[in-house]
Each structure stands twice: as structure tokens, then as C-alpha cells.
Amino acid sequence: MDRPSDRVIVIGAGPVGLCLSLALSQQGIPVCLIEALGDHNFLEQVPRAGTNHPATLELFERIGLYDKLEPRGIIAPLFHYWDRHESKLVAEFDHAHLKDDTRFPYVLQCERIKIVEEALKLVKAHPGIELRLSTEFTAFSQTADGVTVQVRNPAGDSEAIAGSYLVSAEGARSIVRKDLDIEFEGFTYPDRTLNIEVAYDFRQHGYTERNYISDPDEWSNLFHWKGPPDRWRVHFPTAPDADETALTQPDALQARLQRFLPIGKGFNIVGSNLYVVHQRVAKKFRAGRAILAGDSAHVNSPIGAMGMNSGIHDAFNLAEKLVSILRGEADADILDRYERQRRHVALQHTQAQTMRNKRLLTEKDPAVRRKNHDELRRTAEDPKLARAFLLRSSLIESLREAEQIA
């Protein structure tokens, strides 16, 4: 088991690569984890995901990560749908309805950067993981017996690393996916999303830690993160042809926030960025000994907080199968089941649900908006309907459904 050629090579120390490496190594499988960023710039990553659903918290607990994250995050049992047009709360959903379904009837608001920081510490402490920071993966080849990856090491030299399997957890721009010529099917939304980070407590206006706000002209999301100082992230749509510099000027950011909520004084804006949103799923998740996971396999709109969560679910599903194969307990064909299960979830749950969420927030027809809001209200108020809704929104249903796939 300890020969270099038996180890699993994981590319990318994002949340998916880190969780996969920990899940494998804690079961005795040696791992080589390759990451382009180094200790000097690992924490200089733009703000991204941050809502961790109950099913993901259960998985974090399995690898000893939950206890590290809880003190750095905010426990949020509630989330809200608001109607900005009418300035009113439409529905409040309470994860307490899931108390018999999970040990964690809440989401943990804890940003991706904290997750990778804490997971990297666990990786560094694990003797079974060879961590290669400041090392860029460039190419790979495979035979029936193993894989060889080419990297540029910190000295700038080319180096070959051999292993049994290669997992691409490199994110959306995966070289592995491109080298394998696997189509990334789907589309890119023409508008970009503007993210503004603000130090201001929106709860004094009735908001909760997670808010989805519909509006025919300017939908938004509003999320709370733990500081110090505590920050709130506000998302807005932008016109497809709008100039990036103009959009992110301090005056322009302030004006947008004041239109959203006039508070009679300036907001303390602590950051902003613009990002493009894709809805894409790789046509295949596996070619021989090379396997895609996380954003390398699927990307989606962040409305609903499903991208990182479902990527982490890929990691644990795959770890279980690789452990069985490398222990000689299962045939490599079970990796096809990984593809069937996780591709189904990516298409039928993550993608379908995030597209529905976006339509809900952007709907312009007043009659349809009214109907949507009435339905949300009815669902939130009926315990049975609310539980069914939350099982879907928190991805528990996606995991249960995947288990049924042969």
C-alpha cells in the first residue's frame, strides 16, 4: 500500500481536494496533494462559497473538521425569502424541521477561505499525505496500471509523480478535463454578479443570517459572516455590457447599497468583486484512472449555496470507492457508479435547483411572482411541506436519491 505507485494523486487543495485527501488518508490510503498556491499566498483567495448545509457538516465531522469550523462560523437555523418590490418578508424557513433527519438542523455560515485554512492544517498534520504546495500540475498520462503526472515544482523544475489514480479537484478550469477532451456542457449567464462585503448589521432591519431577495429589476442575496469585524455579503446582478471599473467604484457601490437599504449614513464597505456565473456539467466524470470532482466536474450559480457543498459530497462518495478498490475489496468498475450518482445529482439537483432559484428571484410577471410567493409562504407554514422543501434545499434528498442509483 505504501509504494509511491499506490498513492492517489489529488490536484488542487480547494475544499474538495482537501476533504478528499483527508477522507482517503484517514482510511490508510496514501495521498499526494498538489497545489499551485504556496504558504505565502494560500489565504489570498477571493471570497467565494460560505454556506455549509447539514449533510456537509456531517461529512466535516467525519474527518475532524467540523469542530475546527464551528467556532469560526455562524450557526444559522433560519433563512428568508424577501420581496424587495413590496419591502416585505415572504417566508421564513426553519431547519428545525430537519431535526429527525440530521444531527445538524442548521447551516453553518463559514467561508471557503476558513474551510481551506483549517483543512490544510489537518492535512499538514497527517503523515499519510504528501503535500506539495507551490507546485503546478501541467500534464498527465495513464496506463492500465497507473498514472503519471507532470508538475512544475517550487524550484521551477519539471518533475514526474506516479500514482494509482488521479483526481482532478483543480476547479472549473481543470486541465485534466480539457486534456481528456471531456465536454463541459451547459451555458454561461450573460450578466455578472456583483458581490459587495459590508460591515453593517442588517438584522436590525428584520433580516436573518441568509436572505434571498426577489425583485423584477434587481434581485439580491444577503449573507452574514463572522468577523471580527462581522461582515455581510450582498449580491446584485449587473448589466451584461456594464464596465467593470465603473461598477466597482466606491461611489457606485455605495449608491447601490443605499438604493437597496437607505440607512441615512454611509455603509462601511470592506470589499467587492465581480464574478461570472456558469451552469455546466462535464459529460463524463471519469476516463480510466483519471476522475473529476467538484468544480472540475460541475459549476453552477451560487444562488442556493450548492456548488461547494455538492463538490464536497463528490469527494466523500469518491473516497469511499477508491478505498474499497485500493484495499482490493471492489472492482474499479464501481467508479462508474460514482459518475452515475454524482452526475445525476449535478444535473437533477444542483443545476435544476439553482436555475429554479434564479428564476424565482428574477421573475418579472406580477401574477407569477404573486403565485410563487404564495406557494413559498404556504410551504414554510406547513411543517410537512417545509420539511420536504428543506430536505431538497439542504441537499439531503440528493444524497438519499444517489444511494438508490445502482
In terms of phi and psi (left: phi > 0; alpha: psi -120 to 50; beta: otherwise), the region of 30 is: beta
C-beta of 119: minimal distance to ligand FAD in Å? 10
Among residues 105 and 302, whose Cβ is nearest to ligand FAD? 302
What is the distance between the alpha carbons of residues 121 and 133, in angstroms, rounded to a whole number?
13
To ligand FAD, the closest distance from the beta carbon of 370 in angstroms equals: 28
Nearer to ligand FAD, 33 or 91 (CB): 33
Closest approach of Cβ 313 to ligand FAD, in Å? 10
Closest listed residue to residue 238, CA positions, set 220, 258, 262: 220
Query: Which residue, 169 or 325, is less far from ligand FAD as judged by CB?
Result: 169
* Minimum CB distance to ligand FAD smaller for 277 or for 369: 277
Residue nearer to ligand FAD on the CB measure, 55 or 326: 55
Cα separation, 67 vs 72, whole angstroms: 9
d(CA 321, CA 354): 28
Q: How far is the CB of 193 from ligand FAD (least distance, A)?
A: 7
Of the pair 297, 326, the CB lying nearest ligand FAD is at 297
Do residues 30 and 1 make contact, with C-beta atoms less than 8 angstroms apart? yes
For the CB of residue 127, give the shortest distance to ligand FAD in the complex, in Å: 22
Q: Please write down the long-range contacts of 377-386, taking CB distance under 8 Å and 24 or more positions apart.
A: 377/90, 377/91, 379/91, 380/91, 380/92, 380/93, 381/91, 383/97, 386/93, 386/94, 386/97
Of the two residues 11 and 69, which places its CB atom closer to ligand FAD in the complex? 11
Give the integer Cα–Cα distance in Å for 166 and 160.
13
Helix-strand-coil split of the chain, %, nearest 5: 40, 25, 35
Q: Which is nearer to ligand FAD, 137 or 338 (CB)?
A: 137
Q: What angle do CA 11, 54, 75 make, to 5 degrees?
A: 105
Given the C-alpha cell 506516479, which residue does it identify?
A: 162
Q: How far is the CB of 211 from ligand FAD (least distance, A)?
A: 13
**Closest separation between CB of residue 212 and ligand FAD, Å?**
12
Judged by DSSP in three states, 303 sits in: coil
Cell of 130: 504528501
Q: How far is the CB of 406 from ligand FAD (least distance, A)?
A: 26
From CA 14, how far away is CA 19, in angstroms rounded?
A: 8
* Closest to 227 measured CA to CA, from 361, 74, 56: 74
Report how far residue 348's alpha carbon sits from residue 379's, in angstroms, rounded to the nearest whole number.
21
> C-alpha grid cell for residue 74?
455562524
Grid cell 410567493 — which residue?
373
- Minimum CB distance to ligand FAD smaller for 318 or for 376: 318
| Binding region for ligand FAD (CB under 6 A) | 11-17, 34-37, 48-51, 112, 136-137, 169-171, 175, 195, 275, 294-295, 302, 305-309, 311
Q: Cβ 284 to ligand FAD, closest distance in Å? A: 17
Please, which residue, 297 or 376, has the CB nearer to ligand FAD?
297
What ranges make up the beta strands (E) of 264-358? Answer: 269-282, 286-287, 290-292, 298-299
Beta carbon of residue 279, minimum distance to ligand FAD (angstroms, whole number) = 12
